[in-house]
């Protein structure tokens, strides 16, 4: 944590370490993240205040300071999460992804490590982090991504969509796939695919259907299971068209929604009925 003197507020500073400072890819990743988040203003997306290069500090990002921990840490401690927490987190992250997609930003690395559970006076707020490998869509040429090579595999193998695994064009439905994998893991305590190698993971994403999450969480409603499996469809047109459509479909079971009344996440409030 640092303090921004001019505005007297705490901030978090992310820097490129000296040994990476000469690597164009590291600097470009920082620049990409700054440009991506500068397009976005959303309560569930971390706010970036500044980007620059200082002679004595190197390349840096200045971001809002958050207290709390990552979703990865939450699951490492508790395993599968209560349904109310799963629905609340997925609702908030879905809203953030929709906002990013409307602004022409595809995250490409949605995973528990990049979701932060921030402690606030109103409760825990889920925020999506790290847009360093985001795809910035050029409205004049949606297929063009000047910072990514052709047929490049971008993302984290455990959560990459089949089209990412094969180096094909990505769009918002690629983030829907990763969100589906993250929700699968929140529900079951494990990702949809597990392998001993990156090649093994990629093969499963491209070729193997995921196990039904109810196999690992007995009693899970058919509505939720169907929604998760649709989000994880191999063919993008078979997935939900938006992250929010996935979140809405996964909580259609009104009996399931009632358990959200004890949720510590603010997103639960408007969903209670």
Q: Strand 48-54 and strand 58-64: pairing?
A: antiparallel
- The whole-angstrom separation of Cα 239 and Cα 142 is 20
109 is catalytic: yes
Spot the catalytic one: 98, 109, 130, 175.
109
**pTM assigned to the model:** 0.80
Element (H, E) at 179: helix 172-188
Q: Across residues 51-74, what is the average pLDDT? A: 80
**What CATH number belongs to 68-271?**
1.10.510.10
Task: Note the pLDDT of residue 145.
Answer: 47
**For the chain, percent of residues with pLDDT exceeding 90:** 49
Q: Domain 2-64 adopts which CATH fold?
A: Phosphorylase Kinase; domain 1 (3.30.200)
Domain ranges for the chain, please list them. 2-64, 68-271
Task: Note the pLDDT of residue 56.
Answer: 67
pLDDT surpassing 60 at residue 20:
no
Instruction: Tell me the per-residue pLDDT of 115-161, one tens digit each, with 9 for 90 and over.
Output: 999 988 888 999 998 776 667 665 444 444 444 444 455 678 999 99
Q: How many residues comprise the chain?
A: 273
More confident of the two residues 60 and 162 = 162
Categorize the per-residue pLDDT at 202 as very low, low, confident or very high, splitting at 50, 70 and 90. Answer: very high
Q: Do residues 273 and 260 lie in contact, with contact meaning Cβ atoms separated by under 8 Å?
A: no
Instruction: Tell me the per-residue pLDDT of 225-242, one tens digit each, with 9 for 90 and over.
Output: 999 999 999 999 999 999
- The whole-angstrom separation of Cα 109 and Cα 98 is 15
Element (H, E) at 31: helix 24-38
Three-state DSSP class for residue 210: coil
């Amino acid at each position: 944590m640092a303090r921004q003197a001019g505005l007297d507020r705490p901030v978090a500073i992310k820097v490129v370490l000296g040994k990476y400072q000469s690597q164009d890819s590291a600097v470009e990743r920082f620049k990409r993240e700054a440009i991506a988040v500068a397009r976005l203003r959303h309560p569930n997306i971390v706010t970036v205040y500044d980007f620059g290069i200082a002679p004595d500090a190197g390349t840096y990002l200045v971001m809002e300071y958050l207290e709390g921990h990552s979703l990865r840490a939450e699951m490492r401690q508790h395993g599968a999460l209560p349904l109310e927490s799963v629905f609340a987190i997925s609702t908030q992250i879905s809203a953030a992804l929709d906002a990013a997609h409307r602004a022409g930003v595809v995250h490409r690395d949605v995973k528990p490590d990049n979701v932060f559970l921030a402690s606030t006076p109103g409760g825990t707020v889920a925020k999506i982090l790290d847009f360093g490998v985001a795809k910035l869509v050029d409205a004049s040429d949606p297929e063009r991504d000047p910072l990514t090579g052709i047929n490049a595999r971008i993302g984290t193998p455990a959560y990459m969509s089949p089209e990412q695994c094969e180096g094909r064009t990505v769009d918002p439905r690629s983030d829907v796939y990763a969100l589906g994998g993250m929700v699968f893991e929140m529900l079951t305590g494990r990702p949809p695919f597990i392998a001993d190698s990156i090649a093994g993971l990629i093969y499963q994403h491209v070729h193997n259907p995921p196990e039904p999450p109810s196999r690992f969480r007995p009693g899970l409603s058919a509505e939720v299971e169907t929604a998760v499996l649709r989000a994880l469809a191999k063919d993008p047109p078979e997935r939900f068209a938006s992250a929010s459509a996935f979140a809405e479909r996964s909580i259609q079971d009104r009996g399931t929604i009632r358990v959200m009344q004890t949720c510590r996440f603010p997103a639960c409030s408007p969903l209670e009925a």
